[in-house]
């Protein structure tokens, strides 16, 4: 898990409520990513940010929102518009071009969100 923390580890939410998942890193990496993992599917990209105050939609951004006000933090909000939010959410970081960690994504421990 390295220097990436995600909290909480387990999260329960009532249908119709927004919820925010935390991701903090101390690796000094510029790029940060949010993925969701569902049984029988590969990781799917929700949002990514390559630099502070900038972020881009991934393949499945609908119903999610993010912010990147600090280099260390990339919180993900799961809104009530997300139709099937129950999943395992993974945050990842990647080093800058030219660094030894450029080609590798480092993953946090994940947050399991369950909608009741």
Partner 1 sequence: KNQVEQSPQSLIILEGKNCTLQCNYTVSPFSNLRWYKQDTGRGPVSLTIMTFSENTKSNGRYTATLDADTKQSSLHITASQLSDSASYICVVSSINSGGYQKVTFGIGTKLQVIP
In sequence order, the β-bridge partners of residue 93 are 32, 106
Nearest-approach distance from CB 16 to partner 1, in angstroms: 27
Nearest-approach distance from CB 72 to partner 1, in angstroms: 17
User: What phi, psi does 47 have (nearest 5°)?
Assistant: -145, 155
CA Rg, the chain, in Å?
Answer: 13
Q: Given the rule CB under 8 A, which residues bind partner 1?
A: 1, 4, 6, 40-45, 88, 90, 92, 94, 103-110, 112
For residue 40, how far is the Cα from the chain centroid?
A: 20
Nearer to partner 1, 16 or 100 (CB): 100
Nearer to partner 1, 18 or 114 (CB): 114
């Amino acid at each position: 898990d390295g220097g990436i923390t995600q909290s909480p580890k387990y999260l329960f939410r009532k249908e119709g409520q927004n919820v925010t998942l935390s991701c903090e890193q101390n690796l000094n990496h510029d790029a940060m990513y949010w993925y969701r993992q569902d049984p029988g599917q590969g990781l799917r990209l929700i949002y990514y940010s390559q630099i502070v105050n900038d972020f881009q939609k991934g393949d499945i951004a609908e119903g999610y929102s993010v912010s990147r006000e600090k280099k260390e933090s990339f919180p993900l909000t799961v809104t009530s518009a997300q139709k099937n939010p129950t999943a395992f959410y993974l945050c990842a970081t990647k080093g800058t071009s030219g660094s030894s960690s450029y080609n590798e994504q480092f993953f946090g421990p994940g947050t399991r969100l369950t909608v009741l």
